[in-house]
Amino acid sequence: MMRDSTRTRNTNAMNRRHFLGLCAGVAGTLIITKPAAASIAAPRPRELSFDHLHTGEKLKLTYWEHGSYVRDALKAVNHVLRDFRTGDVHRIDPKLLDLLYNIRSRLGTTQPFEVISGYRSPKTNAMLRRHSSGVAKHSMHLQGKAIDIRVRGRNLKQVHCVALALKGGGVGLYTKSDFVHVDTGRVRSW
């Protein structure tokens, strides 16, 4: 009798495990109703705004929606973040925009990024290197993967701390020049 009782308990345990395994498998293949599917398939659009301090240009746009980057928005960003000294336009890394979006979200603000410097041409970078030891020879600005910013209503240390916490690339704090540098290169700080 003991054996049958033990066998029944083991069979019940197996049946329960089998049932739970089936439930887990079914849960992965549930049919989703249209409203739920819409919320899963369509994440919120990503918006950014810029106020370029040297050119006076302002830009507010949705750069990502429906699961992809918006081509015309990326072109507008490339133009606004151009080398303002030479007028050279370069492709801005979309990952940089995602990093900025995450910084803004973590800061809990919708204020525009005040842009000090976006893309830099080789000519501009060389000129800046002659005048400052803080300009890298192989700056990420040359690749459209860096930006120097401020955010209205947030002090530099707040912006710096949030950027560091995200670990999205390089982060530099320039208190004397009043900006934070962020880039999509390897994670590092200064």
Largest Cα–Cα distance of the chain, in whole Å?
Answer: 93
Q: Quick one: pLDDT at residue 133?
A: 80
CATH 3.40.50.620 fits 42-189, yes or no: no
Domain ranges of the chain: 2-30, 42-189
Model confidence pLDDT, tens digit, residues 152-172: 999 999 999 999 999 999 999
SS3 104: helix
Q: Quick one: pLDDT at residue 134?
A: 82
Please, which residues have CB within 8 angstroms of residue 181's CB and are 6 or more apart in sequence? 146, 147, 148, 149, 170, 171, 172, 173, 174
| Burial zone of 12 (CB within 10 Å; 0-12 exposed, 13-18 middle, 19+ buried) | exposed
d(Cα 156, Cα 153) in Å, to the nearest integer? 10
Q: Quick one: pLDDT at residue 43?
A: 87
SS3 12: helix
Render each residue's pLDDT in the chain as its tens digit; 190 residues: 555 554 545 445 444 444 344 333 333 333 333 444 444 556 899 999 999 999 999 999 999 999 999 999 999 999 999 999 999 999 999 999 999 999 999 999 999 999 999 999 999 999 999 998 889 999 999 999 999 999 999 999 999 999 999 999 999 999 999 999 999 999 999 9
pTM, two decimal places: 0.77
